[in-house]
Amino acid sequence: MKLLRHGAAGAERPGLLAADGTVRDLSGVVADIDAAFIADPARLDALKAVDPLSLPVVEGEVRLAPPFTGIGKIVGVGLNYHDHARECGLPIPEEPILFMKATTSLCGPFDAIRLPEGSEKTDWEVELGVVIGTTARKVSEADALGHVFGYCIAHDVSERAHQLEHGGQWTKGKSHDTFCPIGPWLVTADEVGDPQALDLWCAVDGEMRQNSSTGDMIFKVAEIVSYVSRFMTLEPGDLIITGTPAGVGLGLKPQVYLARGQEVRLGIARLGEQRQSVV
């Protein structure tokens, strides 16, 4: 099932993508696609019993918001693709590199990316987002995927100077407003299948920059969920973004970064596509 939220910022309503490609409104069925919905399997089961084509079509221009709300925390995994480690000239990590990304960075999949004042090194990063469905605390790798509700595209926009040249940890370069577009949909785990068999890509102004597969991850999704749960409790609605493949601006020679007026498009198989203008 492809769940979503639609509407102007601050007035979003729950919805889903029907098989005919139309956006259908769910506000008469569920209050919202939020952490409470994600945490309650009965709500999803009840929703699956509804014929999507019986729901009202959302007419006209449709803004897609982040596809779920109530996100308690965003946990990032750095340097998690073999080809990305090679392009950065860095050794393969022995354990996952973790950082946090502020929830205020969240925005919709087609909302504009706003460059911070004075930014000259804002970079693109297409990533697989993992949405936690049930509380995970020190879970085994074998049980980890059972705690996953679904998956979405996450764009881990990063200001490299703030990330790498201002001391401290990476969070300050990852957390500006609009630096975490997610969606367009939250796709339930049963519909996605194997999270390590998804092609993902990113293009800037029509030029392909990233083109890889989640199969190139150094630490797979199950290992990441298990590992993170050793250090913090993961709760329903928490989002883990799992790293990006080669082709980021930081890794190009010479380095290339986003500028006002450009357009970024990115996608992951089975999870849809995003598009953002840079302002």
- What pLDDT shows up at residue 191? 97
Average pLDDT over residues 6-30: 96
Q: Hey, what are 13's tokens?
A: 């309503």
Has residue 89 got a pLDDT over 90? no
Name the residue ranges covered by the structural domains of the chain. Answer: 2-54, 74-277
What is the percent of the chain where pLDDT is above 70? Answer: 100
More confident position, 169 or 159: 159
Q: Computed from CA positions of residues 26, 31, 33, 38, in that sequence, does the dihedral angle turn out positive or negative?
A: negative
Bridge partners of residue 136, in order along the sequence: 234
- Per-residue confidence band for 132, with pLDDT thresholds at 50, 70 and 90: very high
Strands 74-78 and 239-241: parallel
Coil, helix or strand for 85?
A: helix
User: Domain 74-277: what homologous superfamily?
Assistant: Fumarylacetoacetase-like, C-terminal domain (3.90.850.10)
pTM, rounded to two decimals = 0.97
- pLDDT tens column, 56-78: 999 999 999 999 999 999 999 99
pLDDT score, position 90: 85
- What is the DSSP track for 115-153? PPTT-S-EE--EEEEEEE-S-BSS--HHHHGGGEEEEEE
Whether residue 133 has pLDDT greater than 90: yes
For 27-41, 81-95, 98-112, which range has the lowest pLDDT when averaged over its residues?
81-95
